[in-house]
């Protein structure tokens, strides 16, 4: 397990970081520095594998590989122990399930519908900007 606060990062944040930079890229820098540690599940990694290859993103094969290698290198893999059904998009539930298994406080996403959940049990769903501001990073 890595040091730093454990978080679950939604696929869209990784795509934004590597595609456009901004606040999501700051999270990547924090991962590299060991300030935070990404928690993922097999399902989250599968989603990322599919997402990086979307033709509309126009990521080269090398960039796709770099993203996947980075995420795997800076992630701890957890196996969710329970299923939840609390989001309007069933694909988002896997992030909450992973957060519960890893006992993290934050799921970081840019998905407005997912953000509308706000919190489930002790897990807060927040934007990269809100996370950085909350942690003074």
Convert the pLDDT of each residue in 29-58 to its tens digit: 999 999 999 999 999 999 999 999 999 999
Query: Is 38 strand, coil or helix?
Result: strand
> What does residue 54 show for φ and ψ, rounded to 5 degrees?
-60, 130
**What's the predicted TM-score (pTM) here?**
0.94
Strand order in the sheet with 106-108: 75-77, 36-40, 5-9, 106-108, 123-126, 119-120
Q: Which fold has domain 5-134?
A: Rossmann fold (3.40.50)
Find out whether 120 and 87 touch, Cβ atoms under 8 Å: no
Question: pLDDT tier at 66 (50, 70, 90 boundaries)?
Answer: very high
CA dihedral sign, ordered 14, 87, 105, 118: positive
pLDDT, position 127? 97
Q: Which of 45, 119, 55 is nearest to 79 (CA)?
A: 45
pLDDT digit string, tens, across residues 94-112: 999 999 999 999 999 999 9
User: Domain ranges in the chain?
Assistant: 5-134
């Amino acid at each position: 397990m890595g040091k730093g606060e454990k978080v679950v990062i939604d696929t869209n944040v990784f795509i934004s970081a590597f595609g456009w930079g901004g606040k999501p890229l700051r999270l990547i820098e924090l991962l590299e520095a060991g300030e935070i540690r990404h928690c993922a599940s097999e399902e989250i990694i599968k989603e990322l594998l599919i997402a990086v290859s979307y033709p509309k993103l126009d990521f080269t094969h090398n960039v796709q590989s770099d993203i996947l290698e980075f995420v795997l290198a800076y992630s701890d893999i957890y196996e969710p122990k329970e299923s939840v059904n609390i989001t309007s998009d069933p694909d988002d539930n896997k992030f909450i399930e992973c957060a519960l298994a890893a006992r993290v406080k934050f799921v970081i996403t840019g998905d407005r519908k997912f953000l509308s959940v706000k919190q489930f049990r002790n897990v807060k769903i927040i934007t990269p900007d809100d996370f950085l501001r909350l942690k003074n990073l």
